[in-house]
Amino acid sequence: MNTLNKTVTFKGVGLHSGREVHMTVRPTQHDGITFHLNSEDIIVSKDAIGLNHMRATSLTNGSIQVQTPEHFLAACYALSLTNIHVTLDHPEVPILDGSAIEFIHQLKPNMVAIESTSQSEMEIKDDAYFTCNGSHYYACPSDQLKITAVISYPNHWVKSMSYTYTHSLDQFMMDIAPARTYGFSHELDELNEKGLAKGGSLDNVLVVGGDDYLNPPRFTDELVRHKILDFIGDMAIGGKKLRGQFVIIRPSHQGNCEFLKQL
């Protein structure tokens, strides 16, 4: 397990609010990850999962809420980073470039091992199946973390994509962390009317147009890789290392979080 040897600062816009957000991450003696906002704390755990996902994950202590922590938490999971206190000046984690790679690049050089701390595991010992609003989750035993994700848009040129990932820090940094959040151009007006995606741009979202991408993808299958990034970030809320093989079909943040609760 690791923590930080210094405070690390991030600055960027909130994906939904469009407001500039400052975030500081510092080491602490307390176990796990804590978000601090408006003089209150949210301890990251499955009990902190919020109800209003707003096409992202939310965490709450009952009186305050933090949106879009999943890319940051995915980076923390891959880095085995814990015992950190995260202070925000706005209830959204900055979206940065829409992926987890900038979190990795800034956190990794400032890590230090915690000799006396070991993280408990969530090991899949029996086959499991869960479904939530069209998202399907299968889990079975494995000696490592493996994830196969499938997405399908049968009435769109994107059609279907699948990707299989075996977890390690090097593979995460190379294959998953750079994959950005994505959205469809025809949805933008509807999202803005709902007060969402005000901070989205071609700099932090891969935009899928009517017959092609509006900005260059980093991978030919970047969309489905990002689904794996989101899944890892959402599952990281449980605070345990995962050991098992997962097949996730049309996953969503709500489905991911409900699946975590079931496990």
Q: Which of 2, 7, 13 is nearest to 205 (CA)?
A: 13
Q: Are 255 and 133 in contact (CB under 8 A)?
A: yes
C-alpha–C-alpha distance, residues 39 and 150, integer Å? 41
Q: Give the active site residue among 16, 167, 226, 253.
A: 253
Q: Are 56 and 226 in contact (CB under 8 A)?
A: no
What does the CA dihedral 218, 220, 226, 232 come to, rounded to 10 degrees? -100
Q: Helix (H) and strand (E) counts for the chain?
A: 6, 17
Q: Where are the alpha helices (DSSP H) in 127-194?
A: 169-171, 188-193
What does the CA dihedral 232, 151, 105, 110 come to, rounded to 10 degrees? 0
Residue 253: active-site member:
yes
C-alpha–C-alpha distance, residues 196 and 205, integer Å? 13
Q: Where are the alpha helices (DSSP H) in the chain?
A: 70-79, 101-107, 169-171, 188-193, 222-235, 253-262
C-alpha–C-alpha distance, residues 263 and 114, integer Å? 27
C-alpha–C-alpha distance, residues 175 and 165, integer Å? 8
CB atoms within 10 A of CB 134: 10
Q: Catalytic residue numbers?
A: 253
